[in-house]
Structure 1
Amino acid sequence: MLMIHASLRRLGLARSCHGAGGAELLLDVLDAAVGPGGTLMATLGAFYPMDWVNLRPEAERGALLAGSAAFDWRKAPAQPDVGWLGEAFRRRAGTVESDNPSGRFGARGARARWLMADQPWHDYYGPGSPLQKLCESGGRLLRLGASPDTATALHYAEYLAEIPAKRRTRWDYLIAGPEGPEHVWIECLDDAEGIVRLPGEDYFARILKAYLALGRHREGPVGAARAELIDAADLVAFGTKWMERCLR
């Protein structure tokens, strides 16, 4: 079971293969690599045109959303910041998506439906999430030229870390309900700004660099970038201890 983080640009696929074509080429290779008995997973998110509302005070959001088009995250494109690969993964035949507009994942392969099933509505990266399932199933992270702060599994570590006064947030949506548009919200740890404000470099990047320095992963060149293969549970355990030590 592999969770994929990749930069097409650093792999040399964005320009040479026109973005989406490069993503499809990479997915062809990954599908072949894991074979019919393997499973691939990726972060998708969901592009929400009204997401600016979530920058406003919570008390104002219902009125600001009123009259907007109902949001169907099941059909929404992947978040732009996950790049061409996320949208290509989402659209690829056989991909199964989790049912959460804020923390949507995609999976392909033998255990995809199990991995995506029953994701919590609130605290979607915490216990019961696809991230927990990935860790407890011996899953690994495959980072292909990804930036140092890209390691979604560390959001699960944020839930495990015993830290006082973790920052929380709320995401509001207007979705299509059985009786018409419905204002709903999701509450979770602050996975946008961090559970603790820490000056300087993003703490995910700090954790990942410290972990890689231990040499417990495998790495090598791929295309124009570096590939890193990391045990997800080991990284999460390391990240949990790091947070408990450094984020208090």
Structure 2
Amino acid sequence: MPEEPQTRASLAGDLTRLGLRPGDIVLAHSSLRSLGWVCGGALAVVQALLDALGPDGTLVVPTQTTGNSDPMHWRHPPVPESWWPVIREHMPAFDPAVTPSIGLGVLPELVRTWPGAVRSNHPHTSFAAVGPAAAELMAEHPLDCQLGERSPLAALERAGARVLLLGVGFDTCTAFHLAEYRIPDPPLFEYGTAVLTPSGRRWVTYTDVVTNSDDFDHLGAAFEQTRPVRHGKVGEASCRLFDVRPAVKFAAGWLAEHRRPAAKTRAAP
């Protein structure tokens, strides 16, 4: 059994002690289970985050939809090749208003549907935000820039945002992906996806930078040895809080040094 129940008020207090400030813009990655028993569940957690940020703060979460992709690259599980044309023809197009996020937990889905939430318009790597900066942060997200210079990640960097790892590790730190775009000659992927266009649903392909979080735990360990990272407990979860800008700058140098050169272009997994 957990030591004690967590509440909206207790979690907001923990977030404030961790260093979250009113008016902050924060990109949150979360594990609801890690917090312990929360009275009110995910709803109370989102309310606590918004309480800690105050009316001038903005909460951002990833709302990725990686299942809207070319079935020829599916591995977990794969599907028969004879199905591929059917999936490409009938996969529902990404609609920021209704398409659910995939594999990111309960909190991002709740934020995505929160009153006043704004979601970016990328069929694979969208984000959602609640707060006064939401519309500006989510405004630009073209198809061929999943997590790069014209994505919400770069907008978060420019805005002086922070990253909150709420009971999760550096392997979930989406901000590090922005640094992958800044490695000289990054390898590229070809992606396929279903999108909405003015003339209706369409299957499209595009080329973009390879993203890979396999070494982000090692990257994060190196980062927090040399840069300010706040540590603390929120509920029962071990958490980290740090600024996006120095994290991306450090990651770009670390990745350039530690990643092996890859083929310039290949098909997406």
Tell me if TM exceeds 0.5. yes
Match of 1:197 in 2: none
Give the AA of the match of 2:130: R
Aligned partners of 1:168 and 1:190 also within 8 Å: yes
Residues 137 and 180 of structure 1: is their aligned pair in 2 closer, same or farther, counting only changes over 3 Å? Answer: closer
For structure 2, list consecutive stretches of 5 or more residues without a partner in the other structure: 1-24, 261-269
> Are residues 1:174 and 2:174 paired?
no
Q: What is aligned with 2:251?
A: 239
Give the CA deviation at 1:12. 1.4
Q: Secondary structure at the match of 1:29?
A: helix
1:27 is matched with which residue?
46
- Per the TM alignment, residue 64 of structure 1 is displaced from its structure 2 partner at its CA by 4.2
TM-score calculated relative to the size of structure 1 = 0.83
Q: 1:64 to 1:190 in 2, by over 3 A?
A: farther
Tell me which residue corresponds to 2:57. 38
Task: Describe the superposition over 1:134-174 as per-residue Cα deviations: whole angstroms up to 9, x where unpaired.
Answer: 11211100111112301000010001122x4x332232123
- Tell me the distance in 1 between the aligned counterparts of 2:252 and 2:231: 23
Q: Residue in 2 aligned with 1:5?
A: 29
2:101 equivalent in structure 1: 78
Counterpart AA for 1:84: V
CA distance in 2, matches of 1:64, 1:30: 42
Deviation at 1:47, TM superposition (A): 6.2
CA distance in 1, matches of 2:179, 2:196: 33
Taking the aligned partners of 1:50 and 1:141, their CA distance within structure 2 comes to 27
Which range moved further: 177-186 or 141-150?
A: 177-186
| Conserved? CA contact 1:50–1:65, under 8 Å | no
Query: Which residue, out of 161, 173, 181, partners 1:159?
Result: 181
Contact 1:53–1:61 (CA under 8 A) maintained in structure 2: no
Count of paired positions: 230
CA contact (8 A) 2:71 2:84 kept: no
Corresponding residue number in structure 2 for 1:208: 220
Q: Could you tell me how far apart the structure 1 residues matched to 2:230 and 2:88 are?
A: 50
| Aligned-partner SS, 1:131 | helix
Q: Which amino acid aligns with 1:103?
A: T
Q: 1:69 to 1:232 in 2, by over 3 A?
A: closer
Match of 1:198 in 2: none
How far apart, in 2, do the equivalents of 1:203 and 1:91 lie?
32
Instruction: Identify if the C-alpha distance between structure 1 residues 50 and 232 changes in structure 2 by more than 3 Å, giving closer, same or farther.
Output: closer
Does the 8 Å CA contact 2:72/2:84 hold for their aligned counterparts? no
- Kindly provide the amino acid, as one letter, of the partner of residue 208 in structure 2: C
1:1-248 equivalent positions in 2, closer than 5 A:
1-13=25-37, 21-46=40-65, 48=67, 52-55=71-74, 63-74=85-96, 75-79=98-102, 81-162=103-184, 164=185, 166-191=186-211, 193=212, 202-214=214-226, 216-248=228-260
Aligned to 1:199: none
What is the identity, as a one-letter code, of the residue corresponding to 1:167? P
Identity of aligned residues (%): 31
